[in-house]
Amino acid sequence: MNILRIPSRLFAAMEQDLRRPHAFAAERVGFLYARAASTAATDTILCAIDYTPIPDAQYIDDPSVGARIDAEAIRIAFQHVLSKKLSAFHVHEHPWPGHPNFSTIDRREMAKVMPSFHHLCLGMPHGAIVLSPESARAVMWRPGPKSPEPVDAITIIGSPIRKYLYE
């Protein structure tokens, strides 16, 4: 079982950032960072502790995709992972209701960058999260295997608890 826990304040700050309009990008992206609470053989539990938005100037104007970020944005994320030994999750939101899903482009682009994250922080999983106004979904890549695995539950820790199961 893979579980990602996000404190409600952090989640609210992340949502608020992702919903800000950008001058040319259709979507905003950011990075959520997490630390492992458990990496037992059958259960990986990650606790989100930080979110960093991508500054406006680090987006590349590319109409073929929802958002494209430059090398500096990636480098900063790499630095965060390396210096603090954290898992990094690329986050973006789809504004339409229902269960969100990763697009083909999402999966392709994340699969390209994941090996570099693993090279920095051996043993930690890294991944991607996609939100919708009412749900969330995440996948993660462990070092080695090429295919991502689902994050079985994203739990927003607050009152009340919100739990999004991977379905």
To other proteins, the closest distance from the beta carbon of 87 in angstroms equals: 9
| H or E segment to which residue 30 belongs | strand 29-39
Cβ closer to other proteins: 85 or 107?
85
Q: Can you name the residues that pair with 33 across neighbouring β-strands?
A: 50, 88
Joined tokens for residue 46: 């990650």
Distance of alpha carbon 31 from the chain centroid: 6
Smaller CB separation from other proteins, 58 or 155:
155
Give the footprint of other proteins on this chain (CB under 8 A).
Answer: 1, 3, 5, 7-10, 34-38, 40, 42-43, 45-47, 49-50, 85, 152-153, 155, 157-161, 163, 165, 167
Least distance in angstroms from the C-beta of 40 to other proteins: 4
CB of 77 to other proteins, least distance (A): 17
